[in-house]
Structure 1
Amino acid sequence: MSFKNSRAERSTITRDTVDLEKGTENIYQSIVMLSKRANQINVDLKEELTQKLAEFASTTDNLEEIFENREQIEISRFYERLPKPAAMAIDEFERGELSIRAIEG
């Protein structure tokens, strides 16, 4: 998934719980599904950010050699401006891109 093209809300909005339970007929099951998807998105975002920032990693521990890197700051700001993983998960759910699999136990 491309997080750069996410159409999720960047600020908090009020959600109707009836809308959240439409896909599963159970609000608790919907919340669990959204929570798990938000965790997956968060892990993916963190890995992507870590890989991009690893390019700027310094092998020396000398404080005098630490300096601001404009490109590194811009990458960090981009990720800070992205919608929150929970908002991305809700957006995917509302667009019908998420489904739940029942595990027989």
Structure 2
Amino acid sequence: MNYKKTNASKTTISRDTKDLSKETENIYKTISILSKRARQIGVEMKEELLEKIDEFATTNNSLEEVFENKEQIEVSRYYERLPKSTSIAIQELIEGNVYHRVPEPENDIDFPDVNDEEKENQSEIVQKDKK
């Protein structure tokens, strides 16, 4: 996705929680979805930033000479001015561009009951391990 052309706000905006949680009907699920999407966006943006910075990297191993690479600084500033990943995720949710699904619960596994004798043996084993 092209994050440079997003309509997300660069500043903090108060949002109506009812509007955000329309689709899930639960604000906590909505927050979970938004946090996962924001994390995905953040990782993608960071990878893209590191690729662009590596293009301008110089291989100078001298510890005495520290100089600023102007191209790297400009690229970094550009990415700092972009909307934050949480703002982009919220905008995507509002526009209906976020897909999420609820996985079906797995079947419960019935374990046989352990009889008292086996419980005693297990507790003895645990105690022996502690010594």
Question: TM-score surpassing 0.5?
Answer: yes
If the TM-score is normalised by the length of the shorter chain, which range does it land in? over 0.9
- Which residue does the alignment assign to 2:17? 17
Q: CA RMSD in A?
A: 1.3
Aligned-residue sequence identity (percent) comes to 55
Gaps of 5+ in 2: 106-131
The runs of at least 4 aligned residues of structure 1 exceeding 6 Å deviation read none
Shift of 1:64: 4.6
AA matched with 1:54: D
8 Å CA contact 2:56–2:71 kept in 1: the answer is: no
Q: Which has the larger radius of gyration?
A: 2
Secondary structure of the 2:44 match is helix
Gaps of 5+ in 1: none
Mapped to 1, the partners of 2:81 and 2:23 lie a distance apart of 29
TM-score by length of 2: 0.75
Mapped to 2, the partners of 1:13 and 1:22 lie a distance apart of 18
Task: State which drifts further: 23-32 or 38-47.
Answer: 23-32
- Which residue does the alignment assign to 1:100? 100
- Which residue does the alignment assign to 1:56? 56
Mapped to 2, the partners of 1:95 and 1:60 lie a distance apart of 46
Mapped to 2, the partners of 1:39 and 1:103 lie a distance apart of 20
Query: What pairs up with 1:14-93 in 2 under 5 angstroms?
Result: 14-93=14-93
How many pairs align? Answer: 105
Higher relative contact order (CA 8 A, sep 6+): 1
